[in-house]
Amino acid sequence: MTANPISTSKFLSLILRHEPEAIGLMLDGQGWAQIDELILLANARGHALSRDLVEQVVRESDKKRFAISDDGLRIRANQGHSIGIDLALTPQAPPSTLYHGTATRFAASIREQGLLKRDRQHVHLSPDTDTAIKVGSRHGKPLVLTIRAGEMHERGMAFFRSENGVWLTDAVAPEFIDWPAQE
């Protein structure tokens, strides 16, 4: 049973980013779900949700993974979907440098192939090293890569910035990745 903010955030990430069908939820083309329907379907399947708990998770999440619509009726994940969603983001010029947090065990693959979106819609890039370290730590010993985003953008790669400040792009070729000295 889901009843606290951390487990609720994980549950919402699963449902709104990857498996809405697990509880019978339908997302619209931009990834929005009706909050009342989400609560009803989750509760029917043993996941204790309330509007207060959903709003608390959205409000207090340091990662700002979710957004509630201006009318307060819908919710969606800001990015990280493995299902086809059009977040209706407008291309933006990125800062000259962004960062990617990963685990050291992925270094060889990244050196060879660069950063690929795999089963997600985009590669996620952080605006600062502290965030990248946190992201990398979730997967093992952290490795922070410096991405020459400005140079990529000048060469025609599109960048988007999600509502929570995460930068998104389709891929990062190895030539745009600067490695820390010890790697």
Which CATH number fits the domain that encloses residue 29? 1.10.10.970
Q: Please check whether residues 156 and 120 belong to one and the same domain.
A: yes
Q: Please check whether residues 119 and 51 belong to one and the same domain.
A: no
Q: Is pLDDT at 101 greater than 50 in this prediction?
A: yes
Give the whole-number percent of the chain exceeding pLDDT 70.
97
Beta strand spans in the chain (E): 33-34, 66-68, 74-77, 98-103, 115-116, 123-125, 142-147, 160-161, 167-169, 171-172, 177-178
Q: Which of 23, 48, 77 is the last residue of a domain?
A: 77
Write the pLDDT tens digit of every residue in 15-54: 999 999 999 999 998 889 999 999 999 999 999 999 999 9
Q: Is pLDDT at 87 greater than 80 in this prediction?
A: no
Rounded CA gap, 27 and 33, in Å? 5
- Domain of 43 in residue numbering reads as 5-77
Q: Please check whether residues 102 and 163 belong to one and the same domain.
A: yes
Rounded CA gap, 51 and 161, in Å? 28
Q: Is pLDDT at 6 greater than 60 in this prediction?
A: yes
Q: How many domains does the chain have?
A: 2
Rounded CA gap, 77 and 64, in Å? 9
Output the pTM of the full model. 0.69
